[in-house]
Chains A and B, each alone.
Chain A
Amino acid sequence: MIEGLNPAFIFLLGALLVPITSGIVRSVIMLSIPVVALIQLYTMGLGVWGQYEFLGLSIEMTRIDPLARVFATIFCIAAFIGTIFALHVKDTIQHFIAVIYMGAALGAVFAGDMITLFVYWELTAISSVFLIWASRTERAYKAGMRYLIIQVSSGVILLGGIILYYQDTGSIAFEYLGLGSLATGVILVAFGIKACFPFLHNWMQDAYPEATVTGTVILSAFTTKLAIYALARAYPGTDILIPIGGVMTVFPIFFAVLENDLRRVLTYSLNNQLGFMVVGIGIGTELSLNGTAAHAFAHILYKSLLFMCMGAVLFRTGTIKASELGGLYKSMPVTTVFCIIGAMSIAAFPLTGGFISKAMIQSAAGDGGMLVIWLVMLFASAGVMDHSGIKIPYFTFFAHDSGKRVKEAPLNMLIAMGIAAFLCIAIGVFPDALYAILPYEPTYHPYTASHVITSLQLLFFAILAFALLIRYKIYPPELRSTNLDFDWFYRVPLKNLMLAIGRLIAIVWAWVSATANDAVQKIITATADTHGYGKVMARTTSSGVAVTIIVAVLGFVVVFFYR
């Protein structure tokens, strides 16, 4: 391996080979890129490479420390799985862009200064939008455009923050920033957009479900986790992140239970999972940061797995509406099994990836005596169980039979799902392998009797509730049963209150966004009316008018200078 070669360059250079090859050769190249990059990552060890001076700024292209390494590792794994899942796709542009996008995300993780970070930050935005556009539908084009505007704006805001920060401190090193000045506040907003902070989140639910079958799988792994990485790097222990993360864990649940498009349900649950990570960063202890890193790791695995399962279903049936699916376990048994493994993992069953990671964050909250956030996360966990753990597999593969008889997913998809499912269970059973690469010394043991029993109680009550409700047909297994929550048993009034709050938030948000939309619309109309083609600012006036303007300005200037 070349000494000091940034693993991200392996992606970016490898991407150049994608358009000029085809068939089996291309498949081999695309599969070997993440493998080679991962080997390179571990042969390099920890350290700093590629330092330059640019405009008097210290650029640091490659910085590998434990935090960067754990994210880089899972990015490589996700890239490998995502590539296998997409092998059947013939569209060269999609392959090329996907590799670029993965490389950009990886490059951002290795960035040791914020200018490098900014460059990769924008590159992920610009490249990923092509995965959305690759659907080649009008909806996808528009959603992609909105996505692009928001993502690029995030980058521009980041750049503004960097400049302010440089003005304040004279440094652009990408290190701990913390809140405390305008600059770091601006940078936090930029990160927050990509991390889907509440009210900055809409781009994700808007755009991800419009991407192609394979595009969504790849998108779901990188962009938001890059933001989580950036937050973990720059804002650990920032208190404001705890309430932000808490809200993120809770509010998507309300939307997820109402949603019919199952890929959109998954993006809401993705948002909710990000909330756990943000809380972990906000707590900022070694345990919670380890938990965040581990949760990001496990989360990428099971969330890709779920997106892949839904992708396979969409690929075979052509729809992803809960109301049109059901009974697919007969025709897609293997996918069903994988989906259940993914669902168990996201619901944090013991012996799955979700269990060993989420518990760390919750324990960290418990250790810190943060009762409220602990309860919020408990509530959110139940919500996850409801909308991802049960809703997704149940409505797709069981429920009432939709009568669809399709083939099992293609072999490459099954292999990709199999690897992800295997890893989900593997890190659940042998957490020490994951713990060994975490940023801090692992001191956590997930498999204590109390942990296992607590979570099993939670889960079994949820399952019991579900089983009873189905058995007695209290909720018909159609859309309305999505309201089923395990806490229905003892918190009906509270739940109603929560739903009411959710509706209230939705109303307020609708008003805010409508007003803002309206204002922007007015500005655009006014601009178009004055600056549009042939309008007053763009018109060629007669020379007489031009000279009149000149003389008027001259008069003003001369008077001004006489003062």
Chain B
Amino acid sequence: MSVFGFHFAALVVVLPLISAAFSALLRGKNLPWALTTIVSALSFYMSIQLLIEVSANGPLSYEMGSWAPPWGIEYLVDPLSGFMLMIISGVSTGVLLFARESIAKEVPEKQLGMFFSAYLLALAGMLGICITGDAFNIFVFLEIMSLSSYVLIAMGAGNDRRALTAAFQYLIIGSVGATFFLIGVGLLYMMTGTLNIADLASRFSEIEDTRPVRAAVGFLIVGIGIKLALFPFHIWMPNAYTYAPSIVTAFFAGTATKVSVYLFIRFIFTIFGIDFSFGVIQLTDILMPLAVLGFLSMSAVAIFQKNLKRMLAYSSVAQLGYIVLGIALANETGLTASIVHIFNHAIVKTGMFLSVGCMFYVIGSPYLKDLNGIGQRMPITTFGFVLGGIGLIGVPLTPGFISKWYLILAALERGTYVSYALVVAIVFSSLLAVIYIWRVVEVAYFREPPEGSTKTEAPLSMLIPTWIFILGSFYFGIETSINVGFAKAAAAFLYGGQ
């Protein structure tokens, strides 16, 4: 890697952070969008370079301002964070390609500069959380991401005023989560005197039996759980996803909660350590019931929804249940399942939300009752949505199958009766997914379109990015060396790197 390439670790975050300020100054429909897209694409490029570098030569440490850790802030790219950087910047870039027409219709033109400024801040926040090796720095980036996402969600007020209350509720609950996180980090700092993650990890075992540390662990698990929309902390999420502008929903569905999953994995595996998390405090007993209840209950709720975006939001909560279950299973296969599902769900769900974005663009409503016969009115979009749905259900040759395959293997690896119950629960919730996807198919293909409706497709600039995600999902369902390969490497790193 070149000398310049070494600085990618800083630039990948700093570039969107600084560009956010410039975007706020730009006016018009195209300029802020173009700037954001280019910046996001550059971040994507740098993320890929970093990931290649890390895969070849192992973790990469970057000292901010040349202050050596643990005193200075360290940026650390390891297999997991490299993989996350690629997912986040990749999804962001794909969504932005889609965004131009879509957002111009949903947000007033004079606010677009500010909108994309917030978007870039959210992107910088997410990338920062994943790359930084400093616990307090994580909190800072978490707040950058959260505050900008409150703004982005509130921007949906143009479509539906309820976006404002949704954003406000997210703000309250999100702040509670962030505060808990900060309390947890503060307690850890009190006990260890360090904020550097590697340093924290090495000192953790000495103080793990102290009461402040146990309290810190509780605050951290719950705090991150809130940000992650872990059942039953998910209450902010369906509203936020439903009323946000289409591209914001698509972007967050693929990335925002996944970043929190990353934090979960980072704290549980790297800082607390496997022995403490699953041996001493028995995290499995807390997380597994929540995960299973989450994916069963939320899939059931999704069946009854009348708003397509809301249905997909509940489905996202359910999918997060799968991811958390993989973590809770406490074996390497399970962690692989979680990490690979972060990727797979990101690509599938983003594709589906973009399809819904196309429908919203043309029809102007995400309600199922307004989508009768959409299969005839927008055949290309609807077909894309259905293919995405097949991926979500987990039909073989789709990414959903890969994730569930590993998840079921991991459950069986535990080799208890609980394993079989888990397998049944996973399969059963897949059947629930069949039902809620089928409801859309029925509305789309078996109902007559309303009188006088014409066949209108969304513009190509929206269809092509949507289909990139849909076709990409099938590509990664068949040729799995990239997603499964990196996920396995990351899981092995977290298990072996202790």
A interface residues with partner B (beta carbon < 8 Å):
54-55, 115, 118-119, 122, 152-153, 156, 159-160, 163-164, 167, 527-528, 531-533, 535, 537-538, 540-541, 543, 545-547, 549-550, 553-554, 557-558, 560-563
| Pair B214/A546 contact, Cβ less than 8 Å | no
| Pair B396/A55 contact, Cβ less than 8 Å | no
* Interchain CA distance A547-B430 in the complex, whole Å: 30
* Interchain CA distance A533-B176 in the complex, whole Å: 28
Can you list 28 A-B pairs, Cβ within 8 angstroms, ordered by A?
A: A55-B480, A119-B396, A152-B434, A153-B431, A156-B430, A160-B427, A163-B405, A163-B408, A163-B412, A531-B297, A538-B304, A538-B314, A540-B238, A540-B239, A543-B168, A543-B173, A546-B172, A546-B235, A547-B172, A549-B232, A549-B233, A553-B233, A554-B219, A557-B221, A558-B218, A560-B282, A561-B217, A561-B218
| Pair A557/B434 contact, Cβ less than 8 Å | no
A531 to chain B: closest residue by CB: B300
Other-chain residue from A115, A163, A533 in contact with B423 (beta carbon distance below 8 A): A163
B395 within 8 A of A: yes
Residues of chain A within 8 A of B484, CB atoms compared: 55
Other-chain residue from A541, A543, A560 in contact with B286 (beta carbon distance below 8 A): A560
B169 within 8 A of A: yes
Shortest CB–CB separation between residue B439 and chain A, in angstroms? 12
Which of A164, A167, A550 has the most chain B CB within a 10 Å cutoff?
Answer: A550
CB contacts under 8 Å to A, within B388-434, are 395-397, 402, 405, 408-409, 412, 423, 427, 430-431, 434
Residues of chain B within 8 A of A533, CB atoms compared: 304-306
What's the interface size class on B, roughly?
Answer: 35 or more
B interface residues with partner A (beta carbon < 8 Å):
168-169, 172-173, 176, 180, 211, 214-215, 217-219, 221-222, 226, 232-233, 235-236, 238-239, 281-282, 285-286, 297, 300-301, 303-306, 314, 395-397, 402, 405, 408-409, 412, 423, 427, 430-431, 434, 478, 480, 484
B314 to chain A: closest residue by CB: A538
Once A and B bind, how many residue pairs between them come within 8 Å at the CB atom? 101
| Pair A160/B423 contact, Cβ less than 8 Å | yes
Residues of chain B within 8 A of A167, CB atoms compared: 409, 412
Residues of chain A within 8 A of B430, CB atoms compared: 156
* Interchain CA distance A543-B217 in the complex, whole Å: 24
B415 to chain A: closest residue by CB: A167
* Interchain CA distance A533-B307 in the complex, whole Å: 10
Residues of chain B within 8 A of A557, CB atoms compared: 218, 221-222, 286
* Interchain CA distance A167-B413 in the complex, whole Å: 8
Known contacts A119-B396, A160-B423, A557-B218; decide if A546 and B236 are in contact (CB<8 Å).
Answer: yes
Additional pairs, 6, CB under 8 Å, beyond known A55-B484, A160-B423: A540-B239, A546-B235, A547-B172, A547-B173, A550-B173, A557-B286
Residues of chain A within 8 A of B238, CB atoms compared: 540
Known contacts A115-B396, A531-B301, A561-B214; decide if A553 and B412 are in contact (CB<8 Å).
Answer: no
Residues of chain A within 8 A of B423, CB atoms compared: 160, 163
* Interchain CA distance A538-B313 in the complex, whole Å: 11
A141 to chain B: closest residue by CB: B446
* Interchain CA distance A159-B304 in the complex, whole Å: 27
Other-chain residue from B169, B282, B301 in contact with A543 (beta carbon distance below 8 A): B169
Other-chain residue from A115, A156, A540 in contact with B431 (beta carbon distance below 8 A): A156
Residues of chain A within 8 A of B219, CB atoms compared: 554, 558
3 residue pairs, one from A and one from B, having the closest CB atoms: A558-B218, A531-B300, A546-B235
A535 to chain B: closest residue by CB: B304
| Pair A541/B235 contact, Cβ less than 8 Å | yes
A168 to chain B: closest residue by CB: B412
Other-chain residue from A54, A163, A550 in contact with B409 (beta carbon distance below 8 A): A163
* Interchain CA distance A541-B234 in the complex, whole Å: 11
Shortest CB–CB separation between residue A275 and chain B, in angstroms? 30
Residues of chain B within 8 A of A55, CB atoms compared: 402, 405, 480, 484
Shortest CB–CB separation between residue A136 and chain B, in angstroms? 11
| Pair B304/A118 contact, Cβ less than 8 Å | no
B172 to chain A: closest residue by CB: A543
| Pair B304/A528 contact, Cβ less than 8 Å | yes
Residues of chain A within 8 A of B285, CB atoms compared: 560
| Pair A547/B304 contact, Cβ less than 8 Å | no
| Pair A156/B427 contact, Cβ less than 8 Å | yes
Shortest CB–CB separation between residue A169 and chain B, in angstroms? 13
| Pair A550/B222 contact, Cβ less than 8 Å | yes
Shortest CB–CB separation between residue A259 and chain B, in angstroms? 30
Residues of chain B within 8 A of A160, CB atoms compared: 423, 427
| Pair A119/B304 contact, Cβ less than 8 Å | no
| Pair A537/B169 contact, Cβ less than 8 Å | no
Which of A156, A532, A537 has the most chain B CB within a 10 Å cutoff?
Answer: A537
Other-chain residue from B211, B304, B408 in contact with A532 (beta carbon distance below 8 A): B304
Known contacts A554-B218, A560-B286; decide if A546 and B297 are in contact (CB<8 Å).
Answer: no
Other-chain residue from B211, B305, B397 in contact with A562 (beta carbon distance below 8 A): B211
* Interchain CA distance A156-B218 in the complex, whole Å: 39
Residues of chain A within 8 A of B233, CB atoms compared: 546, 549-550, 553
* Interchain CA distance A510-B224 in the complex, whole Å: 52
Shortest CB–CB separation between residue A528 and chain B, in angstroms? 7
* Interchain CA distance A55-B476 in the complex, whole Å: 12
| Pair B395/A122 contact, Cβ less than 8 Å | yes
Residues of chain B within 8 A of A545, CB atoms compared: 235
Residues of chain B within 8 A of A535, CB atoms compared: 304
| Pair A550/B304 contact, Cβ less than 8 Å | no
* Interchain CA distance A527-B169 in the complex, whole Å: 27
Residues of chain A within 8 A of B301, CB atoms compared: 531, 537-538
Known contacts A118-B396, A119-B397; decide if A537 and B300 are in contact (CB<8 Å).
Answer: yes
